[in-house]
Amino acid sequence: MNEDEVIRVLHEHFENLFPKICPNCNHCFRSLREYIRITRRLAPAISFDAELNNWDTTLPIGSMALAACACGTTLALSTMSMELPLRLELLNWLKNETRRRGVTSSELLEYLRERVRHRAESPER
């Protein structure tokens, strides 16, 4: 899997999490694009497995990115509902790329987050 494939897979996964409703104000985010435009990023994205240095797990927890709804409620997009083989492949890619690029998992996840956001906002995907 290369970087562009990772971006495509992540974008498709996150897009399929919508519609998403804020549990506090009941705003319905109809798409990833709307979610990106209305929410405000919180904390860097995190891979729980990488943070635990559990790179060779057979049951990865996954990654999460937090954002604040306009009402202030914290919302999350996660890879936890992704098919297990795909989560394993992404975790392996993350492990190899962090080592190859000499960056932390959070730095690489933030870079991927930005690329997914850009793809979601682009009219020609």
pLDDT digits (tens, 9 = 90+) for 33-46: 999 999 999 999 99
Contacts with 90 (C-beta within 8 Å, 6 or more apart), sequence order = 1, 6, 9, 10, 63, 79, 82
| Spatial contact of 24 and 71, defined as CB atoms under 8 Å apart | yes
CA atoms of 104 and 92, how far apart (whole Å): 14
CA atoms of 82 and 64, how far apart (whole Å): 12
pLDDT digits (tens, 9 = 90+) for 99-121: 999 999 999 999 999 999 999 99
Q: What is the pTM of this model?
A: 0.91
